[in-house]
Amino acid sequence: MKDIADLEKRFSYVFKNRKLLTEALTHRSFYHENPDKSITHNERLEFLGDSVLGFVIVEYLFSSDKKSTESVMAKIKSYLVKESILSEIADSISLGKYLKLGKGEEATGGRAKKSILADTIEALLGAVYLDGGYKKVKAVVLELFRKEIDTLMDSTRFYDFKTELQEKTQLLFGVLPEYRVVKQEGEEHEKVFTIEVFIEGKKFGKGSGKSKKEAQTLAAREALSQLSSSKMKD
Which residues are known to be catalytic? 50, 122
The residues with which 197 forms a beta bridge, in sequence order, are 179, 205
For the CA atoms of 133, 139, 141, 147, the dihedral, rounded to the nearest 10 degrees, stands at 170
User: Phi/psi at 10 (nearest 5 deg)?
Assistant: -70, -30
The torsion angle over the Cα atoms of residues 88, 91, 95 and 101, rounded to 10 degrees, is 80
As a whole number of angstroms, the distance between CA 96 and CA 158 comes to 29
Is residue 174 classed exposed, middle or buried when 0-12, 13-18 and 19+ CB atoms within 10 A define those classes?
exposed
C-alpha 220: how far from its chain's center? 22
The neighbour count for residue 6, using CB atoms within 10 Å, is 13
Find the helix or strand (DSSP H, E) in which 121 lies: helix 114-132
